[in-house]
Amino acid sequence: MVPGESTTGHRGHRGGDGEKRRGETTGRSAGEKWREVVFFVCMAVVYAIYYVSESEWIPLIQQATVR
């Protein structure tokens, strides 16, 4: 057996069983990762907006546009 090959015969997938249980093909998993990344970035932006109040954002934006 080649290292990195699971007993189910998934090529290069150590966690091939978990992916099969969800019913995802390797082609769709790439799209899933993209959606996860986009979702994470959106959440980070929303968190930043909540964390830094709007009154602090306005001068920052003005400084950026003046430069």
pLDDT tens, residue by residue, 38-50: 999 999 988 887 7
Q: What is the extent of the structural domain holding 39?
A: 16-66
Least confident range from 3-7, 35-39, 40-44, 59-63: namely 3-7
Stated length of the chain: 67
pTM across the whole model: 0.35
Distance CA 49, CA 11 (A): 43
Residue 53 in domain: yes
Distance CA 46, CA 61 (A): 16
Residue 8 in domain: no
Residue 5 in domain: no
Per-residue pLDDT at 31: 78
Q: How many folded domains does the chain comprise?
A: 1
Residue 55 in domain: yes
Higher-confidence position of 62 and 8: 62
Residue 10 in domain: no
